[in-house]
Structure 1
Amino acid sequence: MDLPKGWVAVDLGDVCEFQAGYGFPIDLQGKSGQAIPFYKVKDISAAWLSDSRFFLETENTLSEHEAASIRAKPVPVNSVVFAKIGEALRLNRRAITKVASLIDNNTMAMFAPANAVDVSYLYWFSLITRFDVEARASVVPSIRKSDVETISFPLAPRAEQTRIVEKLEALLSELDAGVAELKVAQKKLKAYRQSLLKAAVEGTLTVDWRAAQHAARKAPTDKATGNTSVDAAEASSETGQQLLARILTERRTRWEAKQLAKFQAQNKTPPKGWQSKYPEPTAPDTADLPQLPEGWVWATLSQVGWLDRGKSKHRPRNAPHLYGGPYPFVQTGDIRHADTFLGDIEATYSEAGLAQSRLWPAGTMCITIAANIGKTAILSVKACFPDSVVGFLPAVEDVSIRYVEYFMRSAQQKLESEAPATAQKNINLEILEKLVIPVPPTLEQNKIASELENLLAAARNNDLAIEYSLKQATAQRQNILRAAFAGQLVPQDPNDEPASTLLERLRSERAAQAPSKKPRGRKAKEAS
């Protein structure tokens, strides 16, 4: 890397000291208000997630006597602390100590004399340097002092470091303000989508449409043609109550026909009272439900459609012979990432896979019941899925699957809250069967689905624009940081003491403190 005149490229170990943390006995944890704070990896994350460069208050503190009992030496004020092992190392987070502090053995600190290195200069440099790249190859990534000591560090003149930090933080502050506004807009869009779904299933989204339909049906007939101003398709006056009654009648008729076919296939005479064995779908308990718009009715999901769990009987489920065929195999992750329709499915079943599963038709609504509770998508192709997914098919064509899917989105948080608090959340088929759904007339279901599709598409486009802007902000942040440590952020001042002089003074001070210790690291390369 070409550096400006007056800068030098050194190893971090040439200007910084490093100190690993200590084991933190359980019996000493959880004590607040004592002399010395004791920081853990979670404290680094807490500061990071609060957009703070410095550690916040911690629940873990030790007295000087307790620190001495575990032979723990505090790191000085203005130490940059980072994780040195595991997934936390990959997160690349940092925090600065505001007072002399203890750190636990999953962390490490680096610190330099204030007259040589501005702590904020060191902190910002550390954020564009991925320490996990230096991690040792093992199951759990980790770094040692020797791994980070040899990382190349662009040492600027001390006065210029201060100017760089001031300019850098001013630019990042402006950028962060813009990012904060974008994130607020994201939250508002999420709330807006939920309000649209709520308005849709409560009837307020189509209140004007209903009024127009009511007025059209009452419009005078044209004496010449015998027609009114309302289209014949729009003139249907079947209410939600009438639709539900028709669904329930057709369900029973279908079941009876199926039973009679079974008796006939077995050459049996239907036994007395066989119709009484019909499994009536669960009816809704409407005692505490709000009033619906005129023409709507409360029903349960099992009344308006057929629900059943997917199948994947073979164990182990990942047996290779089950996969690689022509039959799409949907998993919960596919549903979570789908946008209404699900057709691009990576995993496939073979003939053997299909034999131990079930192929659901296009138009089936998939509902996740494990891990990601109540997420939904509609199949646009025939597909199989496991028993962690429930399939729903409308009982009659006049139930809009798009309307039902939008309703399920509005009910997703309720379903998730009803899931038992276990290692992996899940709900059963019975909960879905009893789920209460408002049923408008068919025409209004279709109108609701059409309106929501347009409104949610517009919201989705806004979301994509925000995501793009956030990605641009992240890239811009990195560009600003790179410019800072390439000497491109502020002009150089020829009157500044060169970094080479600063480095020699630092080495002399170190040699005076430890005269028997040889200077470490490669010879610094000064920019010409």
Structure 2
Amino acid sequence: MSDDIPHNWAFSTLGELVEHKKGKVPKAFSNGPADGFVPYIDIEAFETGFVKRFATTQKTTISTQDDVLLVWDGARFGLSGVFGTGALGSTLVRLRSDALERDYLLHFVRHHYRLINSRPRGTGTPHVEPDVFWPLQIGVPPIAEQQRIVERVETLFARLDKGEETVREVQKLLTRYRQSVLKSAVTGQLTADWRAQREGQLESGRDLLARILETRKEHWQGRRGDKKPVKPDIADLFELPEGWVWTSVDQILRAGLSNGRSVPDAEGEGFPVMRLTSLKDGLIDTSERKAGRWTFSEAEPYLIEQGDVLVSRGNGSKQLVGRGGLVADAVDPVAYPDTMIRIPISLEYLSPHWFVQLWNSPFMRSFVETAAKTTAGIYKINQGDIRSFPVPLPPLAEQVEIANLVSEAHAKTVDLERWCETELKRSASLRQSILKDAFAGKLVPQDPNDEPASDLLARIAAQKPAAKKTRRKTPS
């Protein structure tokens, strides 16, 4: 492999070139700057740049702006960056090298992030695997060429940054547009002209709700859960258009809400159960499934039906908990898992496409996110929360019109959204290509007047005290 690099380069490994020292928990902290204390660089400070505490300089690992920092332990292991002077927390490692410019080393480590992060040590808290990290082979250019490489990389990356910033602005505009459409759909503004053209021709929402409640009462009478449905609290809600009425999720159900069931994976054949990943952009992708270790009779109460709306019970992100998807088409028998709640709306009187659009609208999201409770870092909602959520109910014909208009508006954004995703992936790929060329000596021309890297490494070796060539201790 050394034959593939320029003649004035050398070839080595991180283990040979880089000195490292792991951080530790300091003996004392201060909430503000004080004599003998420096910024404490824990994982939060490293990622955000915001320092909350200061640590004593005694018996701590001090890093400077000339060091590369690497997350060695935890879920973020493999991330690298730079910081100012500070005391390193115990999950971080300081990297230094006399043979490598700081930013050259930083770009190299970042270039190999996927490899480092995909091969951890440990089954509990993951760590960087020393046998993966330290043997990484690196081409060493002359110092002057390293500086030219870094300058060229950062120039090209700055251009990509501008392009990505533009694409992300487009994504924000698309999100705002879709939210604006949903807001106007929920308030009735989207169909104001359509409604005016049909004045006096539509069944009112109030009459529609009365029929839903009567049917609900007939179907539920004498059954478990037979009790008056929860009415919505409309004290602080907006005024509805003429012909609409406020109701609650509970009032428009054809059956009770129900959680799915937790099912272990089948080692061989089993009855299929969907995965949480089946929730995709307001729809349920029933191909996202696994074989569960249970029988058809055990799964039967949890079989999904066309028109069902399924929502996620929990998620680590409040913005994702409670997201809903529609079973839009008839499906072969498959059950929903315990990570979902089924909302069986009254299909005789409601458009399921309209309901799932309403459910994922900013209006309904505000109720979901307010109701979500966190346990061990997971946000969850429950059936009691969902039953009480208010629903602005239009006539059935208007529900269908709203669903069509929202779908048409969404379709206009799909191609542009896909273009944005493609461009961001293309930019990420270009970054990797730039770094690949950089570390192969193909990004900038070589200067014959540069000191060869072999001379640099020889001089560094001569300046170091003699030591046994044993592998240095790696962070645990």
Q: Distance in 1 between matches of 2:411 and 2:187?
A: 21
Instruction: Calculate the aligned-residue CA RMSD, in Å.
Output: 3.3
Amino acid at match of 1:94: S
Name the structure 2 match of 1:242.
207
Candidates 340, 344, 351, aligned match of 2:287: 344
State the identity as a percent.
27
The 5-angstrom pairing of residues 43-192 of structure 1 reads: 43-46=45-48, 56=49, 58-62=51-55, 66-68=56-58, 70=59, 72=60, 74-89=62-77, 92-99=78-85, 101-113=86-98, 116-130=99-113, 132=116, 137-139=121-123, 140-143=125-128, 148-192=133-177
Bigger proportion of residues as helix:
1
Q: Secondary structure at the match of 1:213?
A: coil
Please say which structure displays the higher CA radius of gyration: 1
The 5-angstrom pairing of residues 305-384 of structure 1 reads: 305-310=253-258, 317-318=263-264, 320=266, 324-325=270-271, 328-335=272-279, 337=280, 339-348=282-291, 352-355=295-298, 357-358=300-301, 359-371=303-315, 373-379=321-327, 380=329, 381=331, 382-384=333-335
Name the structure 2 match of 1:450.
404
* 1:281 and 2:229 matched: yes
Q: Distance in 2 between matches of 1:282 and 1:73?
A: 59
**Residues 345 and 110 of structure 1: CA distance in aligned 2, closer, same or farther (over 3 Å):** closer
Question: Alpha-carbon deviations, 1:430-465, whole Å to 9, x = none?
Answer: 332222211111211111001111111222332222
Q: Distance in 2 between matches of 1:104 and 1:254?
A: 62
Q: Secondary structure at the match of 1:425?
A: strand
Higher RCO, 1 vs 2 (CA within 8 Å, ≥6 residues apart) = 1
Name the structure 1 match of 2:474.
none
**Residues 350 and 134 of structure 1: CA distance in aligned 2, closer, same or farther (over 3 Å):** closer
**Residues 151 and 451 of structure 1: CA distance in aligned 2, closer, same or farther (over 3 Å):** same
Question: Alpha-carbon deviations, 1:15-68, whole Å to 9, x = none?
Answer: 43322333434x43655445433423333323xxxxxxxxx4533433xxx433
**Residues 392 and 82 of structure 1: CA distance in aligned 2, closer, same or farther (over 3 Å):** closer
Name stretches of at least 5 consecutive residues in structure 2 with no aligned partner.
Answer: 472-476
* 1:173 positional shift: 0.7
Name stretches of at least 5 consecutive residues in structure 1 with no aligned partner.
Answer: 47-55, 218-235, 260-276, 522-528
Q: Distance in 2 between matches of 1:284 and 1:147?
A: 58
* 1:157 positional shift: 1.5
**Residues 312 and 210 of structure 1: CA distance in aligned 2, closer, same or farther (over 3 Å):** closer
For the Cα contact (< 8 Å) 1:135–1:141, is it kept in 2? Answer: no
Name the structure 2 match of 1:502.
456
Q: Distance in 2 between matches of 1:8 and 1:413?
A: 59
* 1:126 positional shift: 1.9
Q: Distance in 2 between matches of 1:496 and 1:469?
A: 38
Name the structure 2 match of 1:409.
360
Q: How many residues align?
A: 454
Q: Secondary structure at the match of 2:166?
A: helix
TM-score (ref. length: structure 1): 0.76
* 1:196 and 2:181 matched: yes
Candidates 331, 336, 343, aligned match of 1:385: 336
